[in-house]
């Protein structure tokens, strides 16, 4: 017969706390429940029936509590999600995690095993991380070297250019795009359990489009070169010039690709009465080129969740978008293709470094989250 009221006041409060956290720590909560019920006068047999345990298990937990303490009962032989780390150890782990970006719990568990000799299961580690305020996230992609001052200077220059643009001048943005002949599954709404699928293609071909865009008129001249290079750049500039016979100066804004500054382009610009004025975007700033947004619209219309039986069908769909959809339906996506620029900086983000901690021996779930 086990006498009731064997728990100390402090242990009873601790056990009650464990029971309230049972959604996080089910294994520990069940042991706490058993001891609390024993303490309240229930027999081992009654507790075993209520908690679906063996009554000998309840007796073992009681003896272990009397011989040692609650900590020994809580964690003896159990490696689940309940934290067995001290507050200082949790602070150490949090600081270690803040300094790196771990893609797998195996890395984190290896660190805890090496540093604290504490070992967690994969699921237990996830629960611990959630309790400490960490979540599994994908980092944002930042431009490689997006100079904030150069971005701001370009935006100011562009706004001044537009605000003072004479009627006999025009502004075009230019870039190249290379849609590949491959099915591109994309998110969409579907009934639960319907398992939507799209046929895939095995081709590796692509369509080269070297294009330009006037945001005021939505004129979008383009060429279809075999290779995007200095020759295609000149062909595009000539086409822009031919479509604007009434313009004295045509400002063309594009990136710093080498062929945009090569001998073919320089020769074209050196012609007598050339009306093209080139403006270079800051390095690594595709977000400052609105034609990139037109390419995104093109992909949503033509490539996302679409299957084409042949590469020719695919190429025709791309060309049809440029020749028919853009000139006739551009008002439908005008709000998506704008010069509403923003400056991208590393401020308010944590630029990640690859984890410095080297794994020695990790569990078999390397590569899992």
DSSP per-residue letters across 39-69:
HTT--HHHHHHHHT--HHHHHHHHHHHHHS-
* pLDDT at 238 (0 to 100): 97
* pLDDT at 363 (0 to 100): 37
* pLDDT at 220 (0 to 100): 96
* pLDDT at 186 (0 to 100): 80
DSSP per-residue letters across 242-292:
HT-TT-SEEEEEE---GGGSSHHHHHHHTSTT--EEEEEPPTT-GGG-THH
* pLDDT at 144 (0 to 100): 67
* Contacts of 141 by beta carbon, 8 Å cutoff, 6+ apart: none
For tokens 């060309």, the residue is 319
* pLDDT at 93 (0 to 100): 93
- Residues 254/282, Cβ–Cβ less than 8 Å: no
Which pLDDT tens digits describe the chain residue by residue (369 residues)?
Answer: 788 888 888 888 888 887 876 654 677 788 889 999 999 989 999 988 888 888 888 888 888 888 877 777 776 554 444 457 888 899 999 999 888 888 788 889 899 999 998 888 887 888 889 889 898 887 777 666 678 899 999 999 999 999 999 999 999 999 999 998 887 788 777 777 888 888 877 667 889 999 999 999 999 999 999 999 999 999 999 999 999 999 999 999 999 999 999 999 999 999 999 999 999 999 989 999 999 999 999 999 998 888 888 889 999 999 999 999 999 999 999 999 999 998 887 776 666 655 443 333 333 333 333
Whether pTM > 0.85 for this model: the answer is: no
* pLDDT at 257 (0 to 100): 93
* pLDDT at 194 (0 to 100): 81
Rounded Cα–Cα distance for residues 245 and 247 (Å): 6
* pLDDT at 104 (0 to 100): 82
The ranges assigned to domains in the chain are 1-78, 79-139+352-369, 148-182+201-336
Burial of residue 312, with CB atoms counted within 10 A of its CB: 0-12 exposed, 13-18 middle, 19 or more buried:
exposed
- Between β-strands 249-254 and 169-177, what pairing exists: parallel, antiparallel or unpaired? parallel
* pLDDT at 355 (0 to 100): 45
The CATH class of 148-182+201-336 is alpha beta
């Amino acid at each position: 017969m086990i006498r009731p009221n064997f728990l100390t006041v402090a242990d009873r409060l601790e056990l009650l706390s464990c029971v309230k956290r049972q959604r996080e720590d089910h294994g520990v909560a069940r042991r706490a429940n058993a001891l609390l019920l024993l303490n309240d006068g229930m027999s081992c047999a009654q507790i075993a029936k209520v908690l679906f345990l063996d009554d000998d298990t309840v007796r073992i937990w009681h003896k272990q509590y009397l011989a040692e303490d609650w900590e020994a009962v809580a964690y003896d032989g159990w490696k689940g999600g309940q934290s067995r780390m001290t507050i200082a150890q949790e602070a150490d782990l949090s600081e270690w995690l803040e300094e790196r970006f771990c893609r797998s719990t195996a890395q984190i568990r290896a660190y805890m095993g090496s540093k604290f000799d504490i070992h967690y299961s994969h699921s237990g580690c996830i629960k611990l991380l959630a309790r400490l305020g960490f979540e599994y996230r994908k980092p944002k992609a930042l431009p490689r070297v997006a100079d904030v001052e150069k971005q701001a200077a370009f935006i100011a220059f562009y706004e001044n250019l537009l605000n003072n643009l004479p009627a006999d001048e025009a502004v075009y943005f230019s870039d190249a795009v290379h849609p590949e002949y491959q099915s591109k599954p994309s998110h969409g709404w579907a009934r639960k359990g319907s398992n939507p699928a799209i046929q895939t293609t095995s081709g590796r071909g692509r369509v080269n489009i070297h294009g330009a865009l006037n945001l005021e008129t939505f004129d979008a001249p383009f060429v279809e070169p075999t290779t995007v290079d200095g020759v295609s750049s000149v062909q595009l500039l000539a086409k822009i010039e031919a479509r604007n016979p009434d313009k004295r100066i045509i400002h063309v804004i594009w990136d710093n690709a080498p062929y945009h500054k090569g001998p073919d382009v320089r020769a074209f610009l050196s012609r007598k009465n050339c009306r093209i004025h080139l403006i270079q975007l800051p390095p690594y700033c595709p977000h400052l080129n609105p034609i990139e947004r037109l390419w995104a619209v093109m992909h949503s219309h033509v490539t996302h969740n679409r299957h084409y039986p042949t590469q020719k069908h695919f190429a025709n769909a791309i060309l049809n978008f440029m020749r028919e959809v853009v000139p006739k339906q551009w008002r439908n996506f005008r709000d998506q293709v704008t010069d509403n620029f923003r400056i991208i900086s590393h401020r308010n983000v944590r630029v990640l470094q690859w984890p410095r901690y080297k794994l020695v021996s990790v569990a078999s779930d390397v590569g899992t989250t």
